[in-house]
Amino acid sequence: MRWNESDRLKLWLCLLALPLMSLMMVAAFGIRGLDTQQVSSVEPDVKVVVDQSYPIGRSEFSPGITHVDNTLDDASGNSDSATIASVKSLLRNGVSFQNTPIMGWGLPDPWPDPSAPEPANWGALDARLQFIVNSAGTPVITLCEAPWWMKGQLQADGSTLVLTRAEEWSSRAFASRILDDKMGAWLHLVERVAERYMVPPYNVRYFQVWNELKGYYDPITNTFDYHTTAGNPTGPHASHGYTYMYNQVYERLMSVAASLGIPENQVKVGGPYAVLDTWSSSSNVSNPSAITRPYGTFDQRPLDVVTYWLQHKAGAGFITVDADATNTDNVNIAHASVASEKFADVVRWIRSLNNAIYPGAATLPIWLGEWYARPYTGWADNRHSDAIKTYAMMEFLKSGGSVALAWGGSDLGRSGPRLWTDTVKGGGKPLPFYYSYLDFKEYFVPGTTLYATTISPAGLVGALASATMVMLVNRTPNPLVVSVDGRIVALTPYDVITMRTTP
């Protein structure tokens, strides 16, 4: 948990050997930032100045998660009901958007039998979406995966390996696309999903189309099939392009919305959900881009997916991408805190595109369908993880990013979101990063005016400011004394605090 104001200042007052009277005042009144007259002898390590005459934009940010397992399912047998209730409360208070795939990641196939005329196995997905509604989340559906009998994998010799029932949940299944001759069945499933979940009690209005271009990698060309061609629908081939499939799904969703009397502008569909990889060196990637940052070089191939999709999409309500602050070759050449600026760089790159050539680049909300940021060493340290993740989202927010969907909530693995502890009995407790999500949601809601901050020296602290609040992140393993518009604040290593701009 974060240190409260009293504990933080008690520590620093002891370290700085301030008079006992000051210590007593802090303990008594719980002041986070001491008046500079009280600690005039303290020389700050960092100075932060908020310029409220210089607005830099408005927040569009909403924190979110994707449900990726069954640890929050009451019937799963994996979790404790009281703990699930606790997590539901955490979600209600600190998370705005909640996403679920239609199958996989803890959910069964809704249409496992190709001889069945209709998908009928809806129980688990119903329960997942009802959970989202009950925890006050804005529901999002990712239209992925698909039943085994609809999918196949393109091979290096140009043939297609069609999945078998036994491969339903195999790694090959997650590297397969819809077969060209099964596009009609896939669209029928999409239609049934939309008909079921666009209406009460779910009222879903947000849809992501597919996930990470799974199955759309072409081993022949060493890039992705992202074009608008239908492939070869005369047989079980895997040769159509992602944008073709996306456009078919988009039109089907809009058709369902119209049939239900839902205005088209209320239904938001996003793609292309490409993974924007970076590499430590342009020599380590087959298709390097001209975009190089201190942490690495962007791969040109997924950038091409984004620009092509922008040009050829039938329509969209948002742009969704996926990114990891760790380089794809696992060679990290910058501090993890520096690399976590990648998500903001992605937003700036998209916004830099010519909107006349790439419609929507300047205007569509930009989502992170998945995002991963973590310490490169000591990754199990929740405070360090919080600092990296919070700084990543702080910069993403300032760049104009919209929704960020953490991949799960309780995953404590190397790349896990670390929002709360495991949902076993006695678990479901908030971890430090949860409080950052909570503060973003409470104090930097969409529409909040943001103001410029000057930080000197640069690189030690991150800052995000509104008219009334300042969020600070200690990016270092060292304690820091920080002056915020003349007020002294003590930050412990990798500390994150949110404070009012005036005492």
**Cα 104 from chain centre:** 19
Helices 20-29, 5-15: inter-axial angle, 10-degree rounding: 170
- Taking Cα atoms as reference points, which of 125, 80, 88 lies closest to residue 106? 125
238 occurs within a structural domain: yes
Where helices occur in 68-110 by DSSP H, the ranges are 81-94
Report DSSP state, residue 476. Answer: S
Domain tally, the chain: 1
Q: Determine the Cα angle at 449 with ends 206 and 433, to 5°.
A: 65
Q: Which domain holds residue 176?
A: 59-447
Q: What is the pLDDT of residues 231-263, one digit of tens each?
A: 999 999 999 999 999 999 999 999 999 999 999
Reduce the secondary structure of 292-332 to three states and give it as a string: EECCEEEEHHHHHHHHHHHHHCCCCCEEEEEEECCCCCCCC
* Backbone φ and ψ of 488, nearest 5°: -90, 130
State how far the Cα of 8 lies from the Cα of 5, in Å rounded to an integer. 5
Report DSSP state, residue 21. Answer: H
* 56 vs 77: which has the higher pLDDT: 56
470 occurs within a structural domain: no
Q: What is the pLDDT of residues 474-493, one digit of tens each?
A: 999 999 999 999 999 999 99
291 occurs within a structural domain: yes
362 occurs within a structural domain: yes
Read off the CATH number of the domain in which 112 is found.
Answer: 3.20.20.80
177 occurs within a structural domain: yes
Amino acid at 477: P
Tokens matching residue 286 = 């087959």
213 occurs within a structural domain: yes
State how far the Cα of 91 lies from the Cα of 224, in Å rounded to an integer. 36
State how far the Cα of 291 lies from the Cα of 208, in Å rounded to an integer. 27
Q: What average pLDDT is seen over the chain?
A: 92
91 occurs within a structural domain: yes
State how far the Cα of 285 lies from the Cα of 329, in Å rounded to an integer. 9
Specify the pLDDT at position 5. 45
If you search the block for the tokens 């998660």, which residue do you land on? 65
Q: What is the pLDDT of residues 274-303, one digit of tens each?
A: 999 999 999 999 999 999 999 999 999 999
Check whether 204 has a pLDDT greater than 60. yes
339 occurs within a structural domain: yes
How many Cβ atoms sit within 10 Å of the Cβ of residue 251? 14
How many Cβ atoms sit within 10 Å of the Cβ of residue 344? 20
State how far the Cα of 167 lies from the Cα of 276, in Å rounded to an integer. 28
Helices 183-197, 242-259: inter-axial angle, 10-degree rounding: 40
Least confident of 113-122, 171-180, 412-421, 460-469: 412-421
Q: What is the pLDDT of residues 359-400, one digit of tens each?
A: 999 999 999 999 999 999 887 899 999 999 999 999 999 999
Q: What is the pLDDT of residues 16-70, one digit of tens each?
A: 433 333 333 333 323 333 333 334 457 999 999 999 999 999 999 999 999 998 8
Reduce the secondary structure of 198-264 to three states and give it as a string: CCCCCCCCEEEECCCCCCCEECCCCEECCCCCCCCCCCCCCCCCHHHHHHHHHHHHHHHHHHCCCCH
Name the 3-class secondary structure at 420.
Answer: strand
The CB-side HSE value for 119 (13 A sphere, CA atoms) comes to: 27
- Length of the chain equals 503
The sign one gets for the Cα dihedral 135, 140, 142, 148 is positive
Q: What is the mean pLDDT of residues 146-167?
A: 98
Taking CA atoms, 55 is separated from 50, 266, 350, 466, in Å, by 10, 30, 22, 9
